[in-house]
């Protein structure tokens, strides 16, 4: 006898989480970056820790190349480097 759940496929969204060191210092600058990322790439979520010395930016997305994110932030005049695990 097969279990009822044997034929059910579980669908999981596979999200990428990128963490960057930046030099974004103001909420207004972050808002511009966030709006650009959301508009251009359909980023799921984007947050920054302005209190951290590395101004850590976290970006959750699906199927977005990391270099596209870095280039967009640099295009706005900011430093953006991926933080190693």
Domain count, the chain: 1
User: Does residue 77 form part of some domain?
Assistant: yes
Provide the pLDDT for residue 14. Answer: 76
User: Does residue 43 form part of some domain?
Assistant: yes
CATH number at residue 50: 3.30.70.100
Task: With beta carbons less than 8 A apart as the criterion, state whether 62 and 14 touch.
Answer: yes
6-63 confidence digits (pLDDT tens): 444 444 567 899 999 999 999 999 999 999 999 999 899 999 999 999 999 999 999 9
User: Does residue 54 form part of some domain?
Assistant: yes
User: Does residue 40 form part of some domain?
Assistant: yes
Provide the pLDDT for residue 61. Answer: 95
Provide the pLDDT for residue 12. Answer: 55
Among 16, 79, 76, 75, smallest CA distance to 43 is for: 16
Provide the pLDDT for residue 7. Answer: 45
63-85 confidence digits (pLDDT tens): 999 999 999 999 999 999 999 86
Q: Which domain, by its residues, includes 73?
A: 16-82
């Amino acid at each position: 006898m097969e279990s009822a759940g044997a034929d059910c496929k579980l669908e999981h969204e596979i999200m990428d989480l990128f963490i960057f060191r930046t030099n974004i210092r103001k909420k207004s600058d972050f808002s511009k970056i966030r709006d650009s990322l959301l508009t251009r790439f359909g980023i799921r979520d984007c947050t920054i820790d302005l209190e951290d010395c590395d101004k850590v930016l976290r970006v959750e997305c699906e199927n977005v190349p990391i270099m596209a994110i870095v280039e967009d932030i640099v295009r706005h005049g900011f430093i953006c480097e991926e933080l190693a695990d």
